[in-house]
Amino acid sequence: MENIHAVYNGRFNFLNDIKISPLSRAYTFSDSVYEVIPFCNSNIIAFDKHITRLKNSCDSLSFKADVKKISSEILDLINKSNHANGYVYYQVSRGIDPIRSHMFDDSISLETFGYVVEHNFISKSLTVMICEDMRWQRCDIKSTSLLGNVLSMNNARNNGCDEVIMHKNNLITEGGASNVFFANDDCVFTPSLSNNILPGITRELLIEEIKQAGIKIEEGQFDVDDLLRAKSIWLTSSTKGLAQVKEISGKKTNLVNDHQLFKACEEIFVKNFLS
Ligand code: PDD
């Protein structure tokens, strides 16, 4: 495997050469937040929005992060990598405890870690599984506490699926690592922002562009039956872009392959961000 450029606590190194403490609170408590910042044809997609969200995640956990320094480390990683297409993973944890303790000592310093990898943004059509959203009540924070997502997604994979679409009390929340959009013949729909979903950057960019293009879009609360009635469903994320859902495991649907509204949204997104 190629050497992956990384940075740990401000020092650049190859990923394999970084040593971390097992008493990092990222390791013991998932007391950490992260970002995934994509770049395509050497253009960083919505850099400022990613940095703002990272700052919001840090503020939610009372991390006093040096956002300027983090921004410059992310840019340096992309420059060092020489990839045209890829993403940076960047994580901030509360720091390293002297000994594991739920209640943290305010004097420990934040721990930061990032790396850059190559990635291509061509998405395949997905088979998804609908499942109960078993996560905590602050899914709007981009925290590394992702066990609910991890267990649901691996259960889906064991059942031949690529992703999940989760619901809480029958209301659609989001994918395991993505936001959800669906459409009938004349309108696009997506769940409104709340504590139960991550405010996805791809979601935000797409909504802005859809509105500009004059396509009808409604943000609201939608249930599983609304989703099952849809002509088209797609998931969005910084690494998937827009990925069409071709099948919902075990469910009868009305999905139309390459529905006109999906194709229109995909074209807008590719034109504006991936070309
Ligand atoms: N995940 N919802 C969840 C739970 C996510 O994990 C992600 C992205 C999104 C989409 O957000 P954005 O458009 O800003 O990438 C929504 C990243 C890619 C990850 O964890 O790897």
CB-based contact 128:163 (threshold 8 Å) = yes
Could you tell me the distance, in angstroms and rounded to a whole number, from the CA of residue 266 to the centre of ligand 1? 18
Report the nearest-CA residue for atom 6 of ligand 1: 177
d(CA 200, CA 112): 22
Q: Model's pTM, two decimal places?
A: 0.97
**Structural domain span for residue 254:** 125-274
Position 208 pLDDT exceeds 80: yes
- As for how many domains the chain has, the answer is 2
| Residue found by looking up tokens 């879009």 in the block | 217
Kindly state whether residues 137 and 25 are assigned to the same domain: no
Kindly state whether residues 21 and 129 are assigned to the same domain: no
Q: Please report, for residues 32, 147, 150, 155, 184, the alpha-carbon distance to residue 250 in angstroms, rounded to integers and kept in the order given.
A: 36, 24, 21, 14, 21
User: What one-character DSSP code corresponds to residue 192?
Assistant: P
Could you tell me the distance, in angstroms and rounded to a whole number, from the CA of residue 107 to the centre of ligand 1? 31
Mutate to test the pocket of ligand 1, among 142, 153, 178 (most ligand atoms within 8 A of CB): 178
Kindly state whether residues 201 and 223 are assigned to the same domain: yes
Section 216-244 average pLDDT: 98
In this prediction, residue 31 has a pLDDT band, given cuts at 50, 70 and 90, of: very high
Residue 179 Cβ inside 6 Å of ligand 1? The answer reads yes
Beta partners for residue 247, in sequence order: 127
* Pairing assessment for the beta strands 217-220 and 179-183 based on DSSP bridges: unpaired
In this prediction, residue 1 has a pLDDT band, given cuts at 50, 70 and 90, of: low
Express as a percent the part of the chain with pLDDT over 90.
Answer: 97
Position 124 pLDDT exceeds 80: yes
- Burial bucket for residue 95 (CB in 10 Å: 0-12, 13-18, 19+): buried
Mutate to test the pocket of ligand 1, among 152, 205, 238 (most ligand atoms within 8 A of CB): 238
Kindly state whether residues 141 and 157 are assigned to the same domain: yes
Kindly state whether residues 132 and 114 are assigned to the same domain: no
d(CA 157, CA 163): 7
Section 188-214 average pLDDT: 98
Kindly state whether residues 104 and 159 are assigned to the same domain: no
Mean pLDDT of the chain, nearest integer: 97
Report the nearest-CA residue for atom 19 of ligand 1: 177
Which tokens belong to 44? 């960083």
Last residue of a domain, one of 86, 118, 150: 118
Q: What is the pLDDT of residues 129-179, one digit of tens each?
A: 999 999 999 999 999 999 999 999 999 999 999 999 999 999 999 999 999
CB neighbourhood size of 162 (10 A): 22
Kindly state whether residues 150 and 267 are assigned to the same domain: yes
Q: Please report, for residues 13, 98, 110, 214, the alpha-carbon distance to residue 31 in angstroms, rounded to integers and kept in the order given.
A: 24, 15, 11, 42
Last residue of a domain, one of 118, 149, 174: 118
Kindly state whether residues 214 and 79 are assigned to the same domain: no
At residue 115, φ and ψ (nearest 5 deg) are -150, 165
Position 2 pLDDT exceeds 90: no
Indicate which atom in ligand 1 lies nearest the CA of residue 38: 15
Q: What is the pLDDT of residues 73-116, one digit of tens each?
A: 999 999 999 999 999 999 999 999 999 999 999 899 999 999 99
Section 218-225 average pLDDT: 98
Kindly state whether residues 241 and 170 are assigned to the same domain: yes
Report the nearest-CA residue for atom 11 of ligand 1: 200
- Give Cα 274 distance to the centre of its chain: 17
Last residue of a domain, one of 118, 142, 168: 118
At residue 130, φ and ψ (nearest 5 deg) are -90, 130
Q: What is the pLDDT of residue 123?
A: 85
